Chains A and B, each alone.
Chain A
Amino acid sequence: MSEERQIQLEVLRYNPETDSQPRYQTYTVPCVNEWVVLDALNYVKENLDPTLSYRWSCHMAVCGSCGYMINGEPKLGCKAFIHEYGDHIRVEPLANFPIERDLVTVVEDFIAKLASVKPYLIPKEDKPISAGEFRQTPAELKKYKQYTLCINCMLCYAACPQYGLVPEFLGPAAISMAHRYNQDSRDGGRDQRQEVVATDEGVWECSFVGACSEVCPKHVDPAGALQQVKVASTIDWYKEHLMPWVKK
């Protein structure tokens, strides 16, 4: 359980002040088998090279800080177990994002996209706090619960071929967050969100490769959300254009 093994940890390094382009640096790390890749990075930081930069915090897959490409796949560093890899592990910053330094990426684009879909409750009806809670049955909760589990780790953006090609694409996490509120029985804001989501840069940009759902560490299934939004948006279109007498 606690046996040790040496791995070669190959890490992408880039310092914009001194490097004209990224390079790789390999560290020899004695690992306990139950470690995760983040533990190996922390070993390097503490014992071998204090200049290595990367984000991390909770070490329990809930804060979403430590997404990296690990052997080419987007993973959380705190949930990528050493024992699942061979003796050579390559760690790079998340794909499809500009590199700020080493494993740290520039994430403003994602944050702006998340904000653009109005990811907050737009209540159907005004109700003072004193009137108590909006009733919501367990079945109604279940309808959107899965989409609330997104930790904003951005692995789905790193996996999405379309986001790589068309940076304007809203992307999986932002669209599933819109879907999360649209599906909430307390919410009445879908029309407002559709203005952003049902556009060329929104849901119609998705080519349904499904990579987002495969890499999601929280099983949010953004691809499923995207498909549901597409279907609902199509129905909207038909209702509007072919059956104008039917209310949306």
Chain B
Amino acid sequence: MEIIKTDVAIVGAGGAGLRAAIALAEADPKLRIALISKVYPMRSHTCAAEGGAAGVIKSDDSLDLHFNDTVGGGDWLCDQNAVEYFINEAPNELMQLEHWGCPWSREPDGSVAVRPFGGMKIKRTWFAADKSGFHILHTLFQTSLKYPSIQRFDEYYAIDLLVDDGRCQGLTALEIRSGEMRQFQAGAVIIAAGGAGKMFPFTTNGAIKTGDGMALAYRAGVPLKDMEFVQYHPTGLPNNGILLTEGCRGEGGILVNKHGRRYLQDYGMGPETPVGQPVLKTMELGPRDRLSQSFWHEQRKGNTVSTPWGECVLLDMRHLGEKKINERLPLVRDLCISYLNMDPVKEPIPIRPVVHYCMGGIHTDIKAATPVPGLFAAGECACVSINGANRLGSNSLTELLVFGRRAALSAIEHLQSSPSASNDPALSAQARASEDRIRALFDQSAGTETVAGLRKEMMHTMEENAGIYRTGEELQRACEKIAELRGRYANLALTDKSKVFNTDLMQALELGSMLDCAETVAVGARDRTESRGAHQRLDFTARDDQNFLKHTLAYHHPKEPPRIEYLDVVITKSQPGVRDYSGAKK
């Protein structure tokens, strides 16, 4: 097996991975950086983020306000020291992107423009029309090309971390083109491999969002934190789950039910605001969890619109006018016309909530360090945690930057402080074991299970039992079913036996990652007998700060369900209070 020696290996080349790579290259041009990704960097799912990135820049805003919006939005499950670091660093990171050429939308005087977003008390979302993630990703990718020390390994799939002498010293990865395994020996590893939305059938997430990075760390003994918190975005296209940005509502779009009523006023987000004059933190600018939950209630009451793609409510943007829609929401218009054959300039668009984002992820401290020395994580795959029980829209793009860079700085600190000698035979033995594991999966011919079959059962289980509203009984069913599927996974047979670009094998590995993640969602949710943010229990409807002002930590077991432990939330200055999204109260 070929051995590639490097100083820092980064798994994932989306926003967080690229930001980390650039930070490493800038800090020390002599560092060898291996940027490993299962896709070419610009295919990473950062590209699909639309609305924008939050950072305090305008004079009417303050760091305290951003702090309060984030912590309250997260239903007080955020670690407040992490949030403080995050909001402090946010403006610099967004400004840095400006200096790297990001085409941020502008005010007439040439300064960077900001737009309103859900759950934010002040306009603070930097945006590049409605393609903000796309522009951030391409700006980072193109900027990364400046640095010869960033060596890319495009289309390499990470298989296992190498942990020896109590520290992470590299990983194995499969070169997809050749089917050959490689051993990366690294002084530090940063995982920045994105979320796991694809464990659900109806999601804004691209095909690649299969939780590989989370599972990689989890199998190496790092706990996954707060995985039961899965965000539904309230406005997805009903036929395929394509995201319509929160910017639609930030710019003034309204949500109505089949009677034409702006139903959000019936769920504590009123009073009704004038059409086209959005009021911050009110009505359509409430947070995502509340909006998605309101949809669920409307559907139960029979107030939703029946469409060929299921029950929907309507997102009405007609009053914004063609000019504003073309200028601020060109992608949204294009997506509605292309995929629904409906023009938001002329008609209301049917939408429904759709799985969007994992608040949970690899457990890290505020320096992006996991409990395993030498292993760091950033971006959606990580849980720092700044998002708590419900992420505010436009915090995640900023999070990629702030913690991508932080992970790089921590990796450098680790390189400087830890012994550099490695036990090569021990690492090679682990790498061979990793290769054997894949070969066994590859060669297994007696298996009766298929990737598509198991995947379908997993998705169905998650949708039916771990959705917007949950019950103990359903969650128990999900736990049992996912455990069963994990067992049956051992009996999987691949149809494709070739080495070159074997997507049957890739999908089998991705399925394994998703099953690991799904089980932590189900078990974490079953055991959290309260309702908080995106985790809503019909059998435990109140938030329970007495028992659950805590993070869930799920530890992997190769055969059994995860072991669950809890960790206190870090509170510095904001005691848990009432989340107020009513414009009536000031």
Contact = CB atoms under 8 A, between A and B. Distances in A.
A24 B239 CA distance: 31
A68 to B, nearest CB: 15
A103 to B, nearest CB: 10
Contact of A53 (B107, B112, B338, B501): B501
Given A53-B503, A138-B106, A58 B48 contact: yes
Contacts of A17: 498-500
A25 B335 CA distance: 32
Contacts of B331: 62
Interface residues of A, number: 63
Given A57-B206, A101-B500, A140-B110, A62 B338 contact: no
Interface in A114-151: 114-115, 118-121, 123, 127, 129, 132-138, 140-141, 144-145, 148-149, 151
Contacts of B491: none
Contact of A50 (B43, B92, B242, B451): B451
Contacts of B498: 15, 17-18, 51, 101
B208 interface: yes
B239 A119 contact: no
A62 B131 contact: yes
Contacts of B43: 55, 57-58, 63-65
A55 B101 CA distance: 29
A111 to B, nearest CB: 7
Interface stretch (B27-35, B140-148, B220-228, B384-392): B140-148
Contacts of A45: 452, 503
A61 interface: yes
B445 interface: no
Contact of A120 (B100, B111, B239, B502): B100
Contacts of B499: 17
A45 B154 CA distance: 23
A129 B96 contact: yes
Contact of A115 (B134, B145, B207): B145
Contacts of B240: 59
A102 B177 CA distance: 12
Contacts of A56: 207
**Which of B308, B338, B498, B503 has its CB near the most chain A CB atoms (within 10 A)?**
B503
B99 A121 contact: yes
Interface in A58-95: 58-65, 79
Contacts of B145: 114-115, 118-120
A100 B207 contact: no
A145 B106 CA distance: 12
Contact of A60 (B44, B242, B495, B501): B242
Contacts of A207: none
A184 interface: yes
A100 B452 contact: no
B37 to A, nearest CB: 12
B500 A100 contact: yes
B496 interface: yes
Contact of B502 (A18, A53, A62): A53
Given A59-B240, A120-B146, A144-B103, A50 B111 contact: no
A102 B504 CA distance: 13
Contacts of B154: 111
B98 A133 contact: yes
A186 interface: yes
Given A123-B99, A181-B101, A152 B500 contact: no
B204 to A, nearest CB: 9
Interface string B96-129: 1011110111111111100000000000000000
Nearest to A104: B501
A132 B92 CA distance: 9
A110 to B, nearest CB: 10
Interface residues of B, number: 63
A209 interface: no
A120 B496 contact: no
Given A62-B131, A148-B135, A133 B207 contact: no
Interface in A14-53: 15-18, 34, 45-47, 49-53
A54 interface: yes
A177 B240 CA distance: 31
Q: Which of A16, A50, A114, A115 has the most CB of B within 10 A?
A: A50
Contact of B138 (A111, A115, A148): A148
Given A57-B207, A127-B99, A63 B500 contact: no
Contacts of A107: 40
B100 A50 contact: no
Contacts of B48: 58, 60, 62-63
User: In the complex, which of the residues B206, B239, B494 has the most CB atoms of chain A within 10 Å of its own CB atom?
Assistant: B206
Interface string B304-340: 0000110000000000000000000001000100110
Contacts of B507: 50
Contacts of A62: 47-48, 131, 134, 331
B438 interface: no
B205 to A, nearest CB: 9
Contacts of A79: 338
B237 to A, nearest CB: 9
B427 to A, nearest CB: 29
Given A59-B207, A120-B143, A141-B106, A187 B504 contact: no
A242 interface: no
Given A135-B109, A136-B106, 5 more contacts: A51-B498, A52-B503, A60-B339, A62-B331, A63-B45
14 contacts: A18-B498, A50-B451, A57-B43, A58-B206, A59-B240, A59-B242, A79-B338, A100-B177, A101-B498, A121-B99, A133-B95, A135-B110, A138-B106, A152-B42
